[in-house]
Structure 1
Amino acid sequence: MKIHFLGGAGTVTGSKTLIEHNNLRILIDCGMFQGIKSLRELNREPLSILPETIDFVLLTHGHLDHCGWLPKLVNEGFNGKIFCTRPTKEISRLILYDSAKIQEEEAKKANEEHFSKHDPAEPLYTEAEVDAVIPKFRVVEKDLDVKLDDDVSFKFFYASHILGACSIELTIDGKVLVFSGDIGQDDDVLMFPPNKPQKADYVFLESTYGNRLHPQTNALLELETIVNNTFNKGGTVVIPSFAVERVQTMMYLIWQLKKEERIPNMPYVIDTPMGISVLDVFKDNRTWHKLSFEDCDEMCKVFTLISDYKDSMNAVYDKQPKVVIAASGMITGGRVLSYLEHLIDKPETTVTLVGYQAEGTRGRKLLEGAQEIKIYGKYYPVLANIMLIESLSAHGDQKDLLNWLSELETKPKKVFLVHGENEAADELRLKVQEQYGFDSQVPFLGQVVEI
């Protein structure tokens, strides 16, 4: 059996792991690379394995770095089935169409304003190419064994992180391979704790926060302080946010603060059409999270929900103090860029980061103290306050990741640390060996391992 690390190795994005057994090829996740340019350019490179030779894709969840390369995979010849949970199918559909739309709009803008070195600038894929992906999805219930071949089966089990996210137990010829996908925190605001694997010969464990512990701070109190301080200065709080789970988490926290009258009456704006659409997915999949139908309805009443672009522009130029939650979470695209174009150079503005910021993204640059950021070919001075509420991450920290391994009944032959920058993955490798004595390895991008 061969394992090909085609993405999510040595980096947090572009998750793709291919398992080759006899004549069967199974791809775990099919994500888009994000962040630094050298990684983003990989999105336009062909896979080292011909897509037409891949039989199945198993999708852990619907984030762009796990599903965002599917249109390219299909366009380049993949004609198999894509297995996922029901919420993951719904979220992937929203994310893929949104991704294609943003790429088409940005290519058009680049061509009109001539700020791209490519002539013409072209999107990675189009909405029409997403159309070809959707019929290939096959919905599978979690905790249900699904047979792919005579000696190959898999099942999904709950991973927390975001709506629909699951880890995968893949059994091939009697060997059990467990792929964590992204694992949520044990005490997430909206999600239940992740289920832990009981048996595994080989484990593929994410390591996003492999070298960090989330601070034991009160996120509600941090958010209350940020909102009140910014309001008192007459400024706007801009919260760049992932449309799935993160938008809903921020809505929930603001709703709690409003109920307790801890923050002022002013506009609270959700400006992400996809984030608004995800609210319906939350309502339709109530067994996957902690919110009741009534909670969802009550929470939404606090906010102005913006879908129309004209309303979005009105909100951008509205000078009154407000709180705006807009995608994308790492400030790589989306409507949050319009707000930052207008507000990043104002000292009364607060930009509040509430999720992981990958290497090379605008979010990471702001976090590291950048004095200016580039948006649509222009540089803007950073005079706004940059804040981080780290405890809100949808990813488990080092303690959560180690805890996830705690119920394995027998010692796995190998633990591969994936979906992490090298320093984080290597520190987690040492911790896994120290705490459990498991043989652990950090694979590199493009590596092929025989097991």
Structure 2
Amino acid sequence: MKLTFLGGAGTVTGSKILLEVNYKKILIDCGLFQGLKELREKNWETLPINLNELDLVLLTHAHLDHSGYIPLLVKNGYKGEIYCTEATKDLTEIILLDSGKIQEEDARRANKYEYSKHNPAEALYNVDDAKEAITHLKTFESNKWHKFNDEIEFKFINSGHILGSVFVLIKVNEKIIAFSGDIGRTEPILLPKFEYIDYADYLIVESTYGNRVHKEVSISDELLKYINHTYAKKGILIIPTFSVERAQEIIYLLSVLKRKKQLPNIPIFLDSPMGVNATEVYFKYNKIHKLTEEDIKSMLSTVHLISSVKASKAVVNDNSPKIVLAGSGMITGGRVLHYLNKYISDKRNSVLIVGFQAEGTRGRALLSGDSEIKFFGEYHKINAEVFKINAFSGHADQNELMDWLKHFKSSPTLTFINHGEPHQSQALKVKIRTVLNWNCTVAKMNNEYYLD
């Protein structure tokens, strides 16, 4: 058996892990690189895999950094299936179609305004590529073993990160290899808590917050504080929002504040076609989240859902106080850029960051205190106030990761730490070795690891 980390090692993006065993090649996750230019450029590199020899792709969840490369995989020759849960399939369809559309639009805009070094600028993949990729998705139930062939079985177990997200267990040669994907919080806002795993011979565990413990604060109180602060300035609160999970969490919390009559009387918009579609998916899968019918009705009455370009432009051009949730969450693209283009230079306005910002993203630049950010080929002065709520994170912190690991009944032969920037991964490695005395290593990009 051999593992190769083709992404998500030394970084939190581009997750792809290749397992080679019994003359079979299985890819666990197939994500896009985001953030730093040197990482984004890897999306254009040819994968070191003969795609005619790739037998299967297993998907832990729908987020772009775990699923966004699938259209390229299929475009470049992969003909096999992609296994996932039902909710992951529905969300992946939404995310890939949106990704193809955004890349088409970015290339078109770059060519129109001639701010790309490439002439012409091209999309990494388009909507048609995404549509083709979606036909390869196949769903399986969680919490039961499924046969891939006579020698290889797999199982999905709830990871509590986003709707449909799972840990992936692969059983082969009497060994179990566990892939964590992304691990959720111990008390998610909308979802059941992650499940524990009893045993694995080999474990791959994420480390996004491997060096940090999230502060215990009231997210609702924090959210209300920034809303009232911006409202008092007669400003506009812009919340760059991940369309899957984070958007639904914020809408739910806003609906609770509205029910308690604590919100100021200002309109709230979710300006994200993907966010709107993802919200509908959440309401569809009412058995795997904690929302009641009353919660759902309240959410729908609290927020104006914006999909059309015409409606979006109208909201952008209305200068009156409002709260806007718009993609993308790391400000790497999407409709949030149009709001920032108009409002980020006005000190009455605020930008509220509500999730992890990868190195090299505009969101990270805002948090770092940069005086300007670049998009649409121009630099934009940052006069709006920038705030962050850390407690919104959908990733387990160090204590929660250790809690999950401590429930293994015996230590894995070897634990690989991935999906983290170097400092976070190293910190988790030291913690695991010190507290659990496990044999572990930090995964390195493109390194091959042979398993006994």
What is the identity, as a one-letter code, of the residue corresponding to 1:209? Y
> Which one is further off, 120-129 or 256-265?
256-265
Give the Cα–Cα distance (whole angstroms) in 2 for the partners of residues 72 and 319 of structure 1.
Answer: 40
> Residue 212 of structure 2: SS of its match in structure 1?
coil
Q: Is the 1:104–1:126 contact (alpha carbons within 8 Å) kept by the matching residues of 2? A: yes
What is the identity, as a one-letter code, of the residue corresponding to 1:373? I
Q: Kindly indicate whether residue 349 of structure 2 is the aligned counterpart of residue 322 of structure 1.
A: no
What is the identity, as a one-letter code, of the residue corresponding to 2:47? L
The corresponding residue for 2:292 is 292
Identity %: 43
Give the Cα–Cα distance (whole angstroms) in 2 for the partners of residues 116 and 366 of structure 1.
Answer: 23
The corresponding residue for 1:137 is 137
The two structures have a TM-score, normalised by structure 2, of 0.99
Q: Is the 1:15–1:419 contact (alpha carbons within 8 Å) kept by the matching residues of 2? A: yes
Write out aligned runs for 1:7-46 (5 A): 7-46=7-46
Question: Aligned-pair distance for 1:434?
Answer: 1.0
Q: Kindly indicate whether residue 423 of structure 2 is the aligned counterpart of residue 423 of structure 1.
A: yes
The corresponding residue for 2:434 is 434
The corresponding residue for 2:99 is 99
Give the Cα–Cα distance (whole angstroms) in 1 for the partners of residues 409 and 433 of structure 2.
Answer: 16
Question: Aligned-pair distance for 1:310?
Answer: 1.2
Question: Aligned-pair distance for 1:256?
Answer: 1.1
What is the identity, as a one-letter code, of the residue corresponding to 1:28? I
Q: Kindly indicate whether residue 184 of structure 2 is the aligned counterpart of residue 208 of structure 1.
A: no
The corresponding residue for 1:56 is 56
Question: Aligned-pair distance for 1:396?
Answer: 0.9
Q: Is the 1:52–1:76 contact (alpha carbons within 8 Å) kept by the matching residues of 2? A: no
Query: 4+ runs of 1 displaced by more than 4 Å?
Result: none
Q: Kindly indicate whether residue 309 of structure 2 is the aligned counterpart of residue 312 of structure 1.
A: no
The corresponding residue for 2:65 is 65
Give the Cα–Cα distance (whole angstroms) in 1 for the partners of residues 32 and 87 of structure 2.
Answer: 20
What is the identity, as a one-letter code, of the residue corresponding to 2:400? D
What is the identity, as a one-letter code, of the residue corresponding to 2:102? I
The corresponding residue for 2:381 is 381
The two structures have a TM-score, normalised by structure 1, of 0.99
Question: Aligned-pair distance for 1:294?
Answer: 3.2
Give the Cα–Cα distance (whole angstroms) in 2 for the partners of residues 216 and 310 of structure 1.
Answer: 41
| CA RMSD, 1 decimal | 0.8
The corresponding residue for 1:446 is 446
Question: Aligned-pair distance for 1:245?
Answer: 0.6
**Structure 1: where are the runs of 5+ without partners?**
none
Question: Aligned-pair distance for 1:298?
Answer: 1.8
The corresponding residue for 1:355 is 355
Give the Cα–Cα distance (whole angstroms) in 2 for the partners of residues 397 and 287 of structure 1.
Answer: 26
The corresponding residue for 2:232 is 232
Deviations 1:180-204 (A, max 9, x none): 0101100111111100111001110
Deviations 1:270-312 (A, max 9, x none): 1001111112111111121111233112211111111111111
The corresponding residue for 1:337 is 337
The corresponding residue for 1:270 is 270
Give the Cα–Cα distance (whole angstroms) in 2 for the partners of residues 375 and 349 of structure 1.
Answer: 19
Question: Aligned-pair distance for 1:147?
Answer: 0.8
What is the identity, as a one-letter code, of the residue corresponding to 2:125? Y
Question: Aligned-pair distance for 1:314?
Answer: 1.1
**Structure 2: where are the runs of 5+ without partners?**
none
The corresponding residue for 1:394 is 394
Q: Is the 1:230–1:237 contact (alpha carbons within 8 Å) kept by the matching residues of 2? A: yes
Give the Cα–Cα distance (whole angstroms) in 1 for the partners of residues 60 and 251 of structure 2.
Answer: 25
What is the identity, as a one-letter code, of the residue corresponding to 2:85? T
> Which one is further off, 256-265 or 159-168?
256-265
What is the identity, as a one-letter code, of the residue corresponding to 1:269? F
Give the Cα–Cα distance (whole angstroms) in 2 for the partners of residues 330 and 285 of structure 1.
Answer: 27
What is the identity, as a one-letter code, of the residue corresponding to 1:294? E
Q: Is the 1:151–1:174 contact (alpha carbons within 8 Å) kept by the matching residues of 2? A: no
What is the identity, as a one-letter code, of the residue corresponding to 2:337? L
> Residue 348 of structure 1: SS of its match in structure 2?
coil
What is the identity, as a one-letter code, of the residue corresponding to 1:309? V
Deviations 1:127-160 (A, max 9, x none): 1111221121110010121111222101000001
Q: Kindly indicate whether residue 423 of structure 2 is the aligned counterpart of residue 412 of structure 1.
A: no
The corresponding residue for 1:122 is 122
Give the Cα–Cα distance (whole angstroms) in 2 for the partners of residues 170 and 144 of structure 1.
Answer: 12
Question: Aligned-pair distance for 1:358?
Answer: 0.4
> Residue 89 of structure 2: SS of its match in structure 1?
helix
